Structures are given as structure tokens and as C-alpha cells.
Amino acid sequence: MIDFSITNDEYMNDLMELVRLFEGASDENLSLGVDYRADGEAFRVNVSSDKYSEFQKNFYFPFGKYDELMRKRVEKRYLKIAIYRTLCFLTGVNLPYGCLTGIRPTKLYVEVQNDREFYGKSARDVFLKDYGVSEEKVELIERIVDVQRPLRNKSEKEYDVFVFIPFCPTKCAYCSFVSLSLDKRRKLVEPYVDCLIRELEQTKSIIKRKKLKVRAVYVGGGTPTSIGREQLDRVLSHCHFKAKEFTVEAGRPDTVDREMIDMLLSHGVTRMSVNPQTFNAKTLERIGRKHSVGDIINAYALAKGKLDVNMDLIAMLPDETFEDFKYSLDTAVALSPENITVHTLYLKKGSALKLDGYDNTDCETAGRMVDYAYKRLTEAGYVPYYMYRQKYTSGNLENVGYAKPDKECLYNVDIMEEDTSIIASGANGISKKLDRKKQLITRCANYKEPLEYVKSIDLMLERQREFWS
């Protein structure tokens, strides 16, 4: 437990996030007090702690003349560095991502690369020396940034379309996403699809009016295929945007049969996911997936050669050892899908595992698992092509998407690097408008809860219309 206080709490939320990372990684009980001030040329931070009597650490950072926005950015950055260094010293723990708390390390890396004048050194040095990111993680970030370079969207006129379907056969024990279990909410499917179709019709007219091209369509969830072939067929009939890439998340393999695959193909779908999460039967049961290992193999066999397939795996699932994870990863590699995405378990409030009190803080095993995934997958010819981090993750680690060469998913790159406007529909859909010149992103979010979304569809349509006008 780390008790934390700061004289001015303007940056409290962000700094608490950093302190919390140490709480997961160390058993220390200590309290930390931070005082800071800026004068003309310097930013001074004083950190004190009760761990050693009269412990004090003073930091001095050169400080320029900034406008208000920039001043805050710089202050927050220096505070994080000072607190991180102090906590490393007091706990003896170094975190793989140093003082970084954001979800997009690769996006940040490119920003630092593009602003060398402001940072005064290379992005590599900023990440290693200022932020305390480990050598291995900097290499991973650099590799992904390189792979992404030719894939990045260069046109202001190319948008993505995202469609959200928030239904699943059952709720998985680790999941905190917006998803309704079909056991209880089947009656909502049809009205939900009706609303989605109204939004997609509006999306079509926005695209026409603005003379846009669609780069990628992504139908995600939830488990879009769980609503059944007929309803999904209705949705996909309104997703014909001549996109370069068209993904439908099938996710739960027990929702896939031959007819489903044929229907996806008839709409020009190019990519789908069949997500094992694990190839261990006992774990599948423990996490409430309600499907078998055989279902995964069958669904994959139906899709193989017809569609590009992604498989999601999770490291640190409950009661799994390193060997269990290794077995799942090796099995996925042997099946050889176009993409394999390796997540590290994170436990947020809405998940049953969190309520059960499951402890996911074994940093060492988590680290071994993701290191093994990187080594095994890259040796098998996959390249890491996008990454993101979540809060409350085992070992403060990351999620990485791996692809066979030229099989990277553009939508995943776009959503993480935030360089493409996205027109989103459905509950929890967040449209993003990018102003490249101003480097500004504005958002328009639909209501999160599916029932609220259905009840308020006229308002949702009006808000999106105005947003894109």
C-alpha cells in the first residue's frame, strides 16, 4: 500500500495511476509526499517518504517559457519522472514501461520522434533515460513503429467504419466490456439491429456527401456472430463500403458454422477472429467460455484459406502456469493463422474474476509468458505490428498483435495510432474526427448501454449528423 499526497492535486489522477502500478509490483507499505514549484528557469520537485527517517529527494529540471497548455504537459512529465525514480529507489522495483501510464506507447514514441527540438534528444533516449522504459520494451516499440510506417494512413479522405454489436453467448469471467449475455437479452437483438441499420444508412450518406473512401470496416463486439446468421446478414448488407479490409469478430468459436462463413464471404468480409484465449479445456471452463477446444479447431478449419483469421490469446488466465500458456501459444502457432494477438490479463471492476478476488499480480510469470510469445512468434515468422496497454494488467505489461508479413490489420493500427477518422455506430460507438493540421481529435460517443442506445436512437442519429456536418 502506498499512501500518496501532493501539494497541488491538479495532476492527481495521472500520478495515482503511476503509484498504483507500484502497488501491483511491490509489497512495500510506505507514504510519499510531493511538493513542486516552477520559477523562470527551473522546475523543482521535492519527494519525501516515511520509509527512511527524514528521506528527501530533490529534482531539478530546466524549464523554458511555455504557454499554459505546454507548461502543464511539461510539469506532468517531470513529476512522473521524479516520482517514478523515487519509487524505484524505495521499492527496488523497475517497471517494464517505466513511468509510462498511457495506453499507446507507440503513438507516444512517434510523437517524441517528431518533436526532437522540444525533447532535446532521440526518442530512444527519452524512453530509456527519462521515462525508464526497459531496453526490451523500447526495442519492441521501435520494431512496431517500423512495421507500421508503410501501413499508416496518409490520406485525410480515408476513413474507417466501426460497427459495435454488444451481445455474447455468455459473459466471460475476465471480461469487463459492454456485452449482454444472449441468455437474458435475446429480445433486444432485433430492435438493436434495426437501430444499427439506421445508423449505417446515415454513415453511407455522410461518406457520399464528404466524398470519402473507406479504408477498413470493423464489426466488433461483443461477439457479432452470436446474434445469428439472419440478423448479422441484415447488418452486413449495410456495410458495403468497398473497403480495403473488412473484419468481423466471430470471437466465440461455437457461433461459427459453414453457413455463417458463406454469409460473411457473400458480403466481401476479408478477415475474422476465432479466439481461443487458451487451448486448455480446464481453463476454458473456469473462465466461462462455454465452448470446447474442439470448437476452436472446427471453426478455424471452416475459415482457413477463405478468410484471414486472427486468434486472441490471454497470458495469466486463472490457475494457468507458464507451461499452460506455452502450450496454448505453441498450438496457435502450429495452426498458423494470419494473426495472433497476445493479451496480458487485466482485471477491471466489471469482471467476475475481479469480484472473486483473483490475484493477477505475479509479475515474473507474466513477464516470462509475454517474452516467450515474442520469441516464439517472431521465430515462426510473425511480426509484432500493433500494441496497447490496459490498466490493471498483470506485470504492467502490454497486448501485442502479431501478423504474418502483409497480413497486418489496418484497423488495429488506425485505432491505436489515432491517425484516421472513424465513423462508429452502435452502443458504445465512439466516432473520432481527426484534424491533421491542428493535430486535434474530437469525439462523439453514443450511449454505452444497448437499451439506452435503442431508446435514444433518434438523438444518437442527430448527434452524429451534427458531428460530421
Ligand X SMILES: C[S@@+](CC[C@H](N)C(=O)[O-])C[C@H]1O[C@@H](n2cnc3c(N)ncnc32)[C@H](O)[C@@H]1O
Binding positions for ligand X, rule: CB under 6 A: 168, 174-175, 177, 221-223, 249, 251-252, 275, 277, 312, 314, 343, 345-346, 351
Report what 218 binds from ligand SF4, ligand X, none; CB cut-off 5-8 Å by kind: none
Please identify the residue of the shown chain whose CB is closest to the bound ligand X. Answer: 251
How far from 22 is each of 91, 93, 337, 433, 453, CA to CA, in Å?
8, 8, 36, 35, 38
Out of 55, 119, 177, 467, which residue is the one contacting ligand SF4 (CB under 6 A)? 177
Nearer to ligand SF4, 144 or 189 (CB): 189
Q: How far is the CB of 447 from ligand X (least distance, A)?
A: 18
- 169, 254 Cβ separation under 8 angstroms: yes
State how far the Cα of 465 lies from the Cα of 365, in Å rounded to an integer.
48
| Nearest CA among 77, 98, 89 for reference residue 30 | 89
Out of 49, 203, 223, 394, which residue is the one contacting ligand SF4 (CB under 6 A)? 223
Residue 448 has a CB neighbour count (10 Å cut-off) of 13
State how far the Cα of 97 lies from the Cα of 80, in Å rounded to an integer.
12
**Residue 320 DSSP one-character state:** -
State how far the Cα of 245 lies from the Cα of 213, in Å rounded to an integer.
12
- 244, 409 Cβ separation under 8 angstroms: no
Q: Is residue 372 a contact point for ligand SF4 (CB under 6 A)? A: no
Q: Is residue 168 a contact point for ligand SF4 (CB under 6 A)? A: yes
Nearer to ligand X, 249 or 417 (CB): 249
Q: Which stretch binds ligand SF4 (CB under 6 A): 171-179, 229-237, 327-335, 371-379?
A: 171-179
Q: Is residue 316 a contact point for ligand SF4 (CB under 6 A)? A: no
State how far the Cα of 373 lies from the Cα of 389, in Å rounded to an integer.
16
**Phi–psi pair at 298, nearest 5 degrees:** -65, -45
Report what 75 binds from ligand SF4, ligand X, none; CB cut-off 5-8 Å by kind: none
Report what 312 binds from ligand X, ligand SF4, none; CB cut-off 5-8 Å by kind: ligand X
Q: Is residue 179 a contact point for ligand SF4 (CB under 6 A)? A: yes
Report what 171 binds from ligand SF4, ligand X, none; CB cut-off 5-8 Å by kind: ligand SF4
- 206, 433 Cβ separation under 8 angstroms: no
Q: How far is the CB of 13 from ligand SF4 (least distance, A)?
A: 26
Q: Is residue 255 a contact point for ligand SF4 (CB under 6 A)? A: no
Alpha helices per DSSP H over 336-456: 352-356, 363-379, 410-417, 450-455
Q: How far is the CB of 197 from ligand SF4 (least distance, A)?
A: 22
Over its C-alpha atoms, the chain yields an Rg (Å, rounded) of 23
Q: Is residue 426 a contact point for ligand SF4 (CB under 6 A)? A: no
Q: Is residue 175 a contact point for ligand SF4 (CB under 6 A)? A: yes
Within residues 49-88, the interface with ligand SF4 by CB under 6 A covers none
For 252, residues 6+ apart whose C-beta sits below 8 A from its C-beta are 168, 169, 223, 225, 226, 275, 289, 291
Q: Is residue 171 a contact point for ligand SF4 (CB under 6 A)? A: yes
**Interface residues with ligand SF4 (CB under 6 A)?**
168, 171-172, 175, 177, 179, 221-223, 251-252
